Amino acid sequence: MDRSRVSAILLLGLPIVGGMTSQTLFNLVDTAMVGQLGTEALAAVGVGGFVNFLSVALVMGLSAGVQAMSSRRKGEGRDSETAVPLNGGLVLALVLAFPATAILQAFATNIFALVNEDPAVIALGVPYFEARLFAMLGVGINFAFRGFWNGISLSIVYLRTLLIMQISNIVLNYGLIFGAFGLPEMGTTGAGVGSAIATYIGALTYMWMAWRRARPHGFLAAMPSRDTMLTMLRLSLPSSAQQFFFAGGLTALFWIVGQVGTPEVAAANVLINLTLVIILPGLALGLAAASLVGQALGARDPVDAHRWGWDVIKVAAVIMAVLGLPMAVVPELILSGFITDVETRALAIPPLRLVGIVIAFDSVGMVLQNAMLGAGAVRTVMTVSIVTQWGIFLPVAWLVGPQLGYGLFGIWVCQSGWRLLHSSALAILWERRGWTKIKI
């Protein structure tokens, strides 16, 4: 791989890596804050956060549709039309978010109780979940803008906006959890309210940035055509379904861990958030691959598009191996900053060490999944994700963890096997190159 390609990957990918890593680090700070309130509070926010992830999956798929179409238009040299898919994504965010929020708010307690039956966790977690639900429209707007800026290779705008949003999140959460800065002390509910407000701060920042920089690209110049909206739906709905089932799988994972015990749920919450420190840089480089692949296909160069996938994997694997090393070598030191209870921390040490050992191999799946989304192969990605997660991982994890008695570590062994299987399946499909024939 020559230096020019490495430079192109890093120029586009590093701002995305920085933005997504900063988001995870701020989430970890939030987790550390809530961890001071006790094991039940930590478990409540963990379950509530992933139930919310499941709920907003409907609008998260807008990012894939906008990015695939915007990057393809850029590759075709149609710069004045690259923001037209963004307009369509914003319309869909408005149409989808309002009714979904109303329905989910009405059944918030019932939904939460399906995942965790502990009364103390429910009492703390439901208000947090309800607060996060009010931000669904903001999430849809943010993901549509993320797809646009990354699709036209201006990921630095994404980074700047995300930093503003996350700094707001950390200040608001601290103030509302503990009653600092003259704000009311709201505990776990304050964490949800702070995150919701920060989401809308991010959405307003994106709108301001787009008004300044995206109008020459067609931002708010006109409503997208019927064909554009149909293509947006064709690309976004399978991606939303994939996100929904992935988020549902994480929520089901919390339910499975909950069958083992509440301390295990608290440990799993920290484990997943720590894992995202490594995974998100891989996903971020995958978003860079999506743009590079889409632009190459727009320029009618499928050979170059195929090469971009493997080139980005090489960069991602190195970064993730470096980030995984401390987790493999000194997991107890890392966990001590997030889990105060000694017994709960001991439960998390072996799974975290395993994550650090295998995470570099997971870069193949994370990069190729997004690269295929950039090519428009959304149904293929959806099928592989759902089959490997729901058809294999979750049933095996349920059997190994609570039923056979291997507990949290047994569940995490199954998770590692699933991620390696997912990567292998996508690598085979990438080499077959059927994705090069998709028209957008």
Instruction: Provide the pLDDT confidence category of residue 27 given band limits of 50, 70 and 90.
Output: low
Min mean pLDDT across 162-166, 186-190, 391-395 is at: 162-166
Classify residue 300 as left (phi > 0), alpha (psi -120 to 50) or beta. left
Mean pLDDT in the chain? 87
Q: Is the pLDDT of residue 53 over 90?
A: no
What local confidence, expressed as pLDDT, does residue 54 receive? 78
Q: Please tell me which residue, 248 or 169, carries the higher pLDDT value.
A: 169
Token pair of 150, please?
């990354």
What local confidence, expressed as pLDDT, does residue 130 receive? 93
CA distance to 377, 411, 426, per residue, from 421 (Å): 19, 15, 9
Average confidence (pLDDT) over 378-400: 94
What local confidence, expressed as pLDDT, does residue 244 receive? 82
**Neighbour tally for 357: CB within 10 Å:** 16
What local confidence, expressed as pLDDT, does residue 28 receive? 63
pTM of this structure: 0.78
Q: Encode pLDDT of 297-321 as tens digits.
A: 988 899 999 999 999 999 999 988 9
Average confidence (pLDDT) over 30-51: 81
Q: Is the pLDDT of residue 58 over 70?
A: yes
Spatial CA neighbour of 196 closest among 112, 130, 110 = 130
- Looking at the chain, the whole-number percentage of residues with pLDDT higher than 70 is 97
What local confidence, expressed as pLDDT, does residue 19 receive? 67
Q: For the chain, how long is the longest CA-to-CA vector?
A: 60
The contacts of residue 87 (CB under 8 Å, 6+ apart) are 218, 219, 220, 221, 222, 223, 224
What local confidence, expressed as pLDDT, does residue 23 receive? 59
Instruction: Provide the pLDDT confidence category of residue 25 given band limits of 50, 70 and 90.
Output: low
Q: Is the pLDDT of residue 16 over 80?
A: no
